[in-house]
Structures are given as structure tokens and as C-alpha cells.
Amino acid sequence: MVPEIYLFGLYPSDTVVWSWQYRSLDGEVDPVTAGGLLLSDPDLDGDGWFDIDGIIGRRNGVRISGLFPAGEGIPGNVNPDDGVPYTGDNQVRQAGLADDPQLTTSGLQFALTDGSYSNVFHASFLSPPTDLDFHSVSPFPDGPISPNSEPAVSFSAEIIATVV
């Protein structure tokens, strides 16, 4: 059972609190660790996704400063062939069957206090499908070219409480 907590105005009531984390699958080539808390709306959309309203955490020790707006693309996360940005949707769902991803192909995107950005998403177009972390760094070239990176990661999130 998920506990209900009272935070006296620190978060809006009817907020779902998630614990989340991800790690690179090949930590020797491109070590990535990230984690923290997600805050979401309690109402599922028609496909079973929660809209993420807030994020707290760190990526490789750097503090996350906030969500990057859904429907926009983080700097550098652009298809280099046609110049069209890859946009995030900031949605998550509970873990289910082994082949049900917790992230969409658009993914969760956020800004970091060092001026970089990340978009962690489910790459269903790969064989086998996996989660990736597109990390963009100034001067924000288009696509996964240095100093940007896009390592395969293992993402997980679980509901830990609801705010009432």
C-alpha cells in the first residue's frame, strides 16, 4: 500500500511522489547515474501515463534545476538530418510487464545547474528496445556528437507516496 503523507503546503494536494533512478548500461564507456524524486498528477491519461509536474535530483552529482517544458526539445536534441527537434512529453507510468517501458519515446527532460540538459527516453525503435539518456552540453551541437552523449541506461521509477 502506498502511504499518504501531509506536507502542509509544500506540494499541491493530490500529488503522486515517485522515487526514480537510472544508470548507464556500460559504466566504463560513459558512466551515468541519476536519481531523485518525481512529482506527478494523480490522474492517468487514457494510455496509462502520469504527467510529471516536478523533479528533484542529481545526474552525475550535478543538481537538477527543473523540468524542461513538455512539447519542446532540449538544446542539441535535434535530428541532424532534417533539423527537427526531438520533443519530450514528461510522462511516466508504473512498472508492469517486462516489455512495458516506464518512459515514452519522447521521454522525461530536465535542466541541470551546470547549464546542461538531459532527455531520458525509451528507444522503442532500436532492436532490442532500450532506454537512452541524451545529454546535451554547450555549445549544443545537433545530435549525439561530442560534447553531447547518448548512452543506453536502465531507468526505473516507483510510487512511494501520495500527498493529501
How far apart CA 20 and CA 117 sit, in angstroms, is 17
Out of 24-28, 78-82, 151-155, give the one with best mean pLDDT: 151-155
Instruction: Report the length, in residues, of the chain.
Output: 164
Burial-class residue 90 by CB neighbours within 10 Å (0-12, 13-18, 19+): buried
What is the pLDDT, as a whole number, of residue 98? 60
For the chain, the distance separating the N- and C-terminal CA atoms, rounded to the nearest angstrom, is 15
How far apart CA 64 and CA 106 sit, in angstroms, is 19
What is the pLDDT, as a whole number, of residue 58? 98
- Write a three-state SS string for 62-79: EEEEEECCCCCCCCCCEC
Confidence of residue 9 (pLDDT cuts 50, 70, 90): low
What is the pLDDT, as a whole number, of residue 36? 97
> How far lies 164's CA from each of 49, 112, 161, in Å?
20, 29, 10
Angle, alpha carbons 70-51-49 (nearest 5°) = 115
Residue 4 pLDDT > 80, yes or no? no
Q: Supply the pTM of this predicted model.
A: 0.91
Contact residues for 28 (Cβ-Cβ < 8 A; gap 6+): none
What is the pLDDT, as a whole number, of residue 100? 87
What is the pLDDT, as a whole number, of residue 96? 78
**What is the total count of domains within the chain?**
1
Contact residues for 86 (Cβ-Cβ < 8 A; gap 6+): 73, 77, 78, 79, 106, 119, 134
Q: Give the domain range for residue 113.
A: 4-163
The predicted model gives 38-45 an average pLDDT of 92
- Label the pairing between strands 50-59 and 62-67: antiparallel
- When computed from its CA atoms, the radius of gyration of the chain, rounded to whole angstroms, is 16
Of 120, 149, 134, nearest to 21 by C-alpha is: 120
